[in-house]
Amino acid sequence: MASELCKTISVARLEKHKNLFLNYRNLHHFPLELLKDEGLQYLERLYMKRNSLTTLPENLAQKLPNLVELYLHSNNIVVVPEAIGSLVKLQCLDLSDNALEIVCPEIGRLRALRHLRLANNQLQFLPPDLGRSRELQYVYVDNNIHLKGLPSYLYNKVIGCSGCGAPIQVSEVKLLSFSSGQLTVFLPAEVKAIGTENDRVLPLQELAMRSLHHTYHSFLKDLNFLSPISLPRSLLELLHCPLGHCHRCSEPMFTIVYPKLFPLRETPMAGLHQGRTPVSFVAYCCSAQCLQTFDLLS
């Protein structure tokens, strides 16, 4: 089996194949042959459905830089590395039927991505920036039973969310939750604090991070100017990758969000979902002012 796999990949490399089918191979690890030397620079579509993969390599984008479609349906993938955000040409990503509990924010920043399939996983929240790119038009998260909130960027996109929103005891989950009336959603793990309309003064750390981010983007255009000597590594990493951007004004947010819920069943999209779904759209705002003025339907 191993020799047959190596032969298949070697032929694809030599003949510069654009499509590679590695479905039903009982793979427990990503094939090293795919990552050898320069990788497969011409490959555009990789099919690895129904294997037993648990993770993806950090250098995936380096070795397969021209991937347009990546199919990983029905594996055991628990974690997707942040490096997936470097697959700048990726248009279709299928991670349905895996064991994902978290989707890294970098997936929400894939600018060419049009189709994203995350159905039948164990997700409880989605990255706040998911859907911010206008290219992303199709998102399927069906049967993530504890997923209750969809970023408001996904409003007016084609979404599948049947089988989501089952009740769960908040005490069982080590995540911040936000409630509005009878609705409760879990917030991304990166969120450290929740703001309300009465919280008009931002925490000092959040003010400092936004100020630094604005300064270096406006004047130096390069956050790489900062080093671990000038800032602790944890803050430096956060500065490079905000937890999300305000759904009202696009201001980066680092530690605190001001959430606002819009039950899907109360929007014009309710008819597409039989009007019964307990899922809500979540607007992640950066301040009390944006929270008050954000309107999903405007």
DSSP notation for 192-205: -EE--TT--S--HH
User: Cα–Cα distances in Å, from 144 out to 35, 62, 98, 254, 269?
Assistant: 32, 31, 11, 26, 20
What are residue 256's DSSP bridge partners? 193
Mean pLDDT by 10 residues, the chain (298 residues): 85 94 95 89 97 95 96 96 93 98 90 97 95 95 95 95 78 73 86 94 92 75 55 72 93 95 88 75 97 92
**What pLDDT was estimated at residue 227?**
55
The domain locations on the chain are: 1-160, 192-216+256-297
8 Å CB contact between 267 and 203: no
**What pLDDT was estimated at residue 238?**
73
Cα distance between residue 81 and residue 18, in whole Å: 24
- The contacts of residue 280 (CB under 8 Å, 6+ apart) are 148, 149, 150, 183, 185, 261, 262, 263, 264
Cα distance between residue 156 and residue 206, in whole Å: 31
Q: Give the number of other Cβ atoms within 10 Å of residue 279's Cβ.
A: 22
Buried b (16+ CB within 10 A) or exposed e, 154-190: bbebebbbeebbeeeeeeeeeebbbeeeebbbbbbeb
* Phi, then psi, of 129 in degrees rounded to 5: -90, 0
Q: Out of 3.30.930.10, 3.40.50.1000, 3.90.226.10, 3.80.10.10, which CATH number does the structure's domain 1-160 have?
A: 3.80.10.10
Is this model's pTM higher than 0.75 or not?
Answer: yes
Q: Give, to the nearest 10 degrees, the angle between helix 233-240 and helix 204-215.
A: 60
Structure tokens at 107: 């997936």
